[in-house]
Amino acid sequence: MGMIEAELKANPVLTEYVLQDLNGDPKLPFEDNSFDVITNVVSVDYINKPNEVFKEMCWILKPGRLAIMSFSNRCFWTKAISIWTSTGDADHGLIVGSCFHYAGGFEPPQMDIDREIK
């Protein structure tokens, strides 16, 4: 799932994809309990309706399965949500953890910080 069709089409490992802007429509177009793992790679900082998106993620995940949010201190600052740009790295983990908490249905989140990028 993504917003830029050219990038999705260029990904050789995809067998299918969904083109969607979650800020325009946070409803995930998948059946409940249909995924073992959900990943969100360096875009959680752009979601302007995180509670709705995280609730949707909870519904489409199979019980006890995994949701992974990855993020960095690099982003398009003019596109990121204001709470993200007005806080620092440690706070970003708390923001994402709060999204899991307030969505309900998730186990308490765990954070793995790898501060060294090579």
- 116 pLDDT higher than 60: no
- 110 pLDDT higher than 90: no
User: pLDDT digits over 63-83, tens only?
Assistant: 999 999 988 878 888 899 999
Contact 58, 105 (CB under 8 A): yes
Average pLDDT, the chain: 91
DSSP assignment letter at 41: E
User: pLDDT digits over 37-61, tens only?
Assistant: 999 998 999 999 999 999 999 999 9
Sign for the pseudo-dihedral over CA of 23, 10, 77, 54: positive
Distance CA 95, CA 14 (A): 30
Segments forming the whole domain that contains residue 90: 30-113
Q: How many helices (H) and strands (E) does the chain have?
A: 4, 2
40 lies in a domain? Answer: yes
Beta bridge partners of 38: 67
63 lies in a domain? Answer: yes
15 lies in a domain? Answer: no
93 lies in a domain? Answer: yes
79 lies in a domain? Answer: yes
14 lies in a domain? Answer: no
The count of structural domains within the chain is 1
Distance CA 17, CA 4 (A): 11
CATH number at residue 45: 3.40.50.150
Give the pLDDT score at 118. 42
To which residue do tokens 């993200």 refer? Answer: 84
Measured at the CA of 64, the angle between CA 62 and CA 65, to 5 degrees, comes to: 60
